[in-house]
Amino acid sequence: MNPNTMHSERGFALIEVLVSLVIFSLGVVGLMGMQTRALQASTDAQDRSMAAMLANSVTSEMWAIKSTSLGNSAVEAWKEQVSGALPRGKGEITENISGTDATISVKWLSNTRKAKSTSDSTDGEDMNQFITKVVIPK
């Protein structure tokens, strides 16, 4: 081998290893980001399922008594359940005068929006909402 060639190639393997480490590190950072997003999506799906379950529970009570007019204590207990089960959870039942139909609304702050939210308000565009309408046949 020519001494000039060996001198010019000295350290080249080290540069290759460093470039490989940089590329590998970028890949690991990308995987960590994907894992974080998957975890957030899973938590949001869990919150949506909980909201549907809470709305279904109050709907079942209405069907059981064949009226949308639940007592104040039952409504307050349900609202307590909503606020305890969901982040900044808020439940609302709006009855029509007929007493045979009502709108059930469950609002909560999603995990993906928690970091972006600067307000402590439970009303606003940062809130997720699950709405269902109940009609009790006579």
Which H, E and C letters describe the chain, residue by residue? Answer: CCHHHHHHHCCHHHHHHHHHHHHHHHHHHHHHHHHHHHHHHHHHHHHHHHHHHHHHHHHHHHHHHCCCCCCHHHHHHHHHHHHHHCCCCEEEEEECCCCCEEEEEEEEECHHHHCCCCCCCCCCCCEEEEEEEEECCC
Confidence band (pLDDT; 50, 70, 90) for 71? confident
Average pLDDT over residues 87-96: 93
pLDDT tens, position by position, 75-85: 999 999 999 99
pLDDT of residue 66: 86
Residues, the chain: 138
Q: What is the share, in percent, of the chain residues with pLDDT greater than 70?
A: 83
- Dist. CA 136–CA 106, nearest whole Å: 20
Average pLDDT over residues 60-65: 90
